[in-house]
Amino acid sequence: MRGRLIAIGDIHGCAAELAELLAALAPGRDDRIVLLGDLVNRGPDSRGVLELARAHNATALLGNHELRLLKYRRTGDKKYIKETDLDTFEKLRPADWKFLEAMPLTFEEPELDTVFVHGGFLPGTPWRRQPAEVVTRIQVVDKEGLPAKRADAPGAPLWADLWDGPPFVVYGHTPRPEIYKRKWSAGIDTACAMGGSLTALVLPERRVVQVKARKKYYP
Ligand SMILES: [Mn+2]
């Protein structure tokens, strides 16, 4: 593998923090950047994040927030979005929508036996066949063995605690104060929009680079 593979957790409109993180990483022409989804909403500058992503030729994975906006755009049905998404919805321009429409669910680096995804995977079924509703949203596995949100299934095990690789999975979506490392996974959403930090995991060495949020943008 030439260069580094740089994964960055949920940015959620924190464009200033993303710019600072990218400056610290100083990506070269052989480096690749994978943004783990949820680039938009919550923070102050979703469009700025999308512009930075394009300027750095980053691969951006689909998050549940992008999925919500895309579903609303296709259907006009407000059941798909939250009131707070409308601000982003109205600001996005055609180039932004084109970028969102092109977001893949996963990114795979076979040389590292590593897969990148927004939320995670349901253990026990082939990861390549899992739909957007699962891989962008899973946090825990409920009593019926189905993917669920942490808040909806108290005490249910984290999918990452049940995940036996290979592959190694790098994901975001479940915000925590620190990154969550397991033998076969690393969760790197460190809640930037909520006043935490924005985290990059640099492969192959698995080095962590972080910048602190400038403020708490979202409760
Ligand atoms: Mn998410």
Low-confidence spans in the chain with pLDDT less than 50: none
Q: How far is the CA of 38 from the centre of ligand 1 (A)?
A: 5
Q: Which residues contact 104 (CB under 8 A, 6 or more apart)?
A: 59, 61, 62
Domain containing 200 — which CATH number? 3.60.21.10
Q: Which helix (DSSP H) or strand (DSSP E) does residue 208 occupy?
A: strand 207-212
124: in domain:
yes
pLDDT of amino acid 137: 98
Is the bond leading into 167 cis (omega within 30 degrees of zero)? yes
What is the spatial distance between Cα 116 and Cα 37, in angstroms, rounded to a whole number?
10
218: in domain:
no
What is the spatial distance between Cα 135 and Cα 107, in angstroms, rounded to a whole number?
12
219: in domain:
no
189: in domain:
yes
List the domain range (segments joined by +) for residue 70. 5-212
Tokens of 87: 């601000």
182: in domain:
yes
79: in domain:
yes
- Averaged pLDDT score across all residues of the chain: 97
217: in domain:
no
pLDDT of amino acid 2: 86
What is the spatial distance between Cα 60 and Cα 34, in angstroms, rounded to a whole number?
6
Tokens of 125: 């079924």
Give residue 139's identity as a one-letter amino acid code: Q
49: in domain:
yes
Q: How far is the CA of 137 from the centre of ligand 1 (A)?
A: 6
| Number of compact structural domains in the chain | 1
Q: How far is the CA of 65 from the centre of ligand 1 (A)?
A: 6
pLDDT, tens digit, for every residue of 97-139?
Answer: 999 999 999 999 999 999 999 999 999 999 999 999 999 999 9
Nearest CA-CA partner of 104 in 45, 37, 193, 47: 37
